[in-house]
A = this chain, B = another copy of it.
Amino acid sequence: MPKTSPGNGFEDFRVGQVIRHATPRTVTTGDVALYNGLFGPRFAVQSSDAFAKAIGYPRAPVDDLLVFHIVFGKTVPDVSLNAVANLGYAGCYFRSPVFPGDTLSALSEVIGLKENSSRKTGIVYVRTTGYKQDSTPVLEYVRWVMVRKRDEAAPARGDHVPRLPTVLDPKVLGEACPPIELSAYDTALSGSPYRYDDYEIGERIDHVDGITVEEAEHQIATRLYQNTARIHFDLYGAKQSRFGRRLIYGGHAISLARALSFNGLANAFHVAAINGGRHVAPLFAGGTVFAWSEVLGKSELPGRADVGALRLRTIATRDRPCEDFPFKSGDDYEEAVLLDLDYWVLMPR
């Protein structure tokens, strides 16, 4: 019997199944440094222990997206190794800040299954929770992927399509943010005078700068997350894929867009939740990523006068500056659009 994991086929999943994923991972200041080198984020809370302490954190928390990528990476060998397509994610919210020294693990529950009419593939819906060594949940999200069947003749287990979360309720948005000492929030150090009240719904912001991605960079990032999807690392195999080359992990574009968004959103110090995201087009090495954002909504947080939440749409593009806010032509995204991300950030008030 082969000891190598072939990954799960569609018929291996059942609704209610709980998968405890390998490999637990202690996050360190080393991971943070490498993340900084790869993406260049400049948000003061994550960059400076002194700044973070002054406003109420015990020390600088780990970048929210680094936490997301590590948790996500753990699910790949069990959930999406045989995926034909990553269809979406939703209802993602951060439940506790993560600090260097914390060990992250992940657990997924299968919450839905739907065989496709071809009977060759099916859609698997999972709810994944990332948690710390002491069982504190740090992150939760729903994801659905199209997975090949190992055996097309295998019987379907009956469909169950879950109700997917859409926009997250503002009351969960503050879970991973301690009370912020506003008087200590120094906007000279944070890089911008604009706070929650300065942003208006409908406002659009061009993040101006562009960052080119190299093969070595996305490979290092994706291995750092222990994400094992072959298409990101294996040029030999990728040459035989429909892309003909290595495909960059979708989360790489998210992290680049978030880092770029500092220019215009410097005080959006915490990604509180991701309502949903769409990887509109693949990204390959050599491409330069630009981004712009629109404020889709604003929300106070129940019982909190320290921070407010902005709902943002951030669009990332490839080889296309965003001063004219490229988005859609009719129903279709413009050709240069890579990513359409709908998420909540917290800002000091």
Contact = CB atoms under 8 A, between A and B. Distances in A.
A220 B223 contact: no
B24 A189 contact: yes
Interface stretch (A89-97, A233-241, A324-332): A233-241
Interface in A229-272: 230, 233-237, 246, 263-266
A215 B237 CA distance: 19
A290 B4 CA distance: 14
Contacts of A3: 192, 194, 198-199, 205, 264-265
Given A191-B22, A234-B210, A219 B217 contact: yes
A205 to B, nearest CB: 6
Q: How large is the interface on A (under 10, 10 to 19, 20 to 34, 35 or more residues)?
A: 35 or more
Interface stretch (A36-44, A145-153, A276-284, A299-307): A36-44
A19 to B, nearest CB: 9
A47 B226 contact: yes
Interface string A300-324: 0000000000000000000101000
A97 B191 CA distance: 26
Contacts of A33: 28, 30-31, 33-34, 224
Interface string A21-35: 011111011111110
Contacts of A266: 22
Which 9 A-B pairs give the minimum distances between C-beta atoms?
Answer: A30-B33, A22-B191, A40-B223, A24-B48, A28-B29, A216-B216, A236-B288, A30-B30, A214-B216
28 contacts: A3-B198, A3-B199, A4-B208, A20-B188, A22-B44, A22-B188, A22-B191, A22-B192, A23-B44, A23-B191, A24-B51, A25-B48, A26-B49, A30-B33, A49-B101, A51-B103, A209-B228, A210-B233, A210-B236, A210-B237, A214-B216, A214-B219, A235-B286, A235-B288, A236-B288, A236-B319, A236-B321, A237-B288
Given A49-B133, A214-B219, 12 more contacts: A3-B198, A4-B207, A20-B189, A22-B266, A23-B42, A24-B51, A29-B100, A33-B33, A34-B34, A40-B226, A216-B216, A216-B220
